[in-house]
Structure 1
């Protein structure tokens, strides 16, 4: 399983890189405009987000399959997501507020609201636009954790396939769901989470017809709103992910991609608005924009590395150790409690 974990890290690293390139070239041009710089080639980088969702489906199901009690999952996800996120929100808010980035500045109260991570449900604007995926992640955690609490995790495909069917029907134009329902049920993103779960079961020996159907149907549902670009991108995502987690793509587990996978969460959180500030500074100074993109990438990688090693990983260790010690103390207290009551 070790090689598969390395390849999963490599998938994360690859997804992070293509998303960064998408934002610095294609998305920046859409918002502010690149002068004479080719950008169309980077459009496909938007599909790196789907790879992230597949990784999440795989990892979250794996996590739930191993935990001993519900609180283990809550502490695991909180320690993994929130400390690095809070640091990123703070850094991005002050950077944008100090330098200025038209259309992307928010009030400090809105920045505080971002700390919830599900602030989109409260219609609080994002400190950085990439945070929309974190609302999606938390929503997925909620639903999958609920299935775990209800004892339905082993039948997760049966529970999720009806929603994925809505994805297909909406993509075909046969139904039109309110945006609130789409957001709450993850109608647009659920096929990729389900695919990740299906691939987890597949590579762990569960080759039942329903697992194979769930993977295949999730792919078809995602393609219901058809385009040639989506067909190529989603097919590549599914194939690449399966080859990686099944141990058939060892060449992907290179040091650079594994390193990028290790800092991918921090890189994703920090790269967009801070990168835009750097690129705009180069344009304002009459300097080559490609050099600005290069510097933006370098700064984002440096900040992500620092955030990972100075905030994310220490916080994970501290919170989980605190929780483990607390659980041990609770068990000890339970054994020492006198018979007959407190």
Structure 2
């Protein structure tokens, strides 16, 4: 839904197709949850994503939220699996639940920052450089000349 809203905002593709995609995606989103929440919740989420896409929620521009946004994929990948293991480990060690949770939250954010800054961003930069070099070579006219036909 967010990407389709971005396409609408930037004028990529027919607007009606993007809007239709938003409606279909909203239907899929709601049906995956087996109707356990009110359809108004789906509409509210889409409304909030739309406001965010058009820059109408200024609080999201604050540095902590921008940082969370930048590390969100790495955070998504590691928080659940590692978090559950760590929570269980610290719980078995006898630490209070809130202490376990605090440790896991700090660990998850720290790991996501490291993954984003030391792995994801360097790989992305390298791939962009490689793409630019390959694209430049493909656009460059060939230096090999065809033999003249006499």
Gaps of 5+ in 1: 1-53, 59-196
Q: Find out whether 1:337 has 2:141 as its counterpart.
A: no
User: Do 1:270 and 1:304's aligned partners in 2 also have CA atoms closer than 8 Å?
Assistant: yes
Count of residues in Structure 1 that have an aligned counterpart in Structure 2: 145
Provide the rounded CA distance (Å) in 2 between the counterparts of 1:202 and 1:325: 31
Name the structure 1 match of 2:35.
226
Q: Deviations over 1:29-58 (max 9, x none)?
A: xxxxxxxxxxxxxxxxxxxxxxxxx33xx1
Name the structure 2 match of 1:245.
53
Which of 283, 299, 304 does residue 91 from structure 2 map onto? 283
Q: How does 1:208-219 map to 2 (within 5 A)?
A: 211-219=18-26
Q: Find out whether 1:295 has 2:103 as its counterpart.
A: yes
**CA gap 1:211/1:323 in 2 versus in 1, 3 angstroms:** closer
> Using CA pairs below 8 Å that are at least 6 residues apart, which structure has the higher relative contact order?
1
Provide the rounded CA distance (Å) in 1 between the counterparts of 2:124 and 2:17: 36
Q: Find out whether 1:274 has 2:61 as its counterpart.
A: no
CA shift for structure 1 position 201: 4.1
Provide the rounded CA distance (Å) in 2 between the counterparts of 1:209 and 1:257: 32
Provide the rounded CA distance (Å) in 1 between the counterparts of 2:53 and 2:128: 27
TM-score (norm 2): 0.79
- Between Structure 1 and Structure 2, whose CA radius of gyration is higher? 2
User: Do 1:271 and 1:300's aligned partners in 2 also have CA atoms closer than 8 Å?
Assistant: yes
The root-mean-square deviation of aligned C-alpha atoms, in Å, is 2.7
TM-score (norm 1): 0.38
Q: How does 1:7-26 map to 2 (within 5 A)?
A: none
Q: Find out whether 1:202 has 2:11 as its counterpart.
A: no
CA shift for structure 1 position 263: 0.7
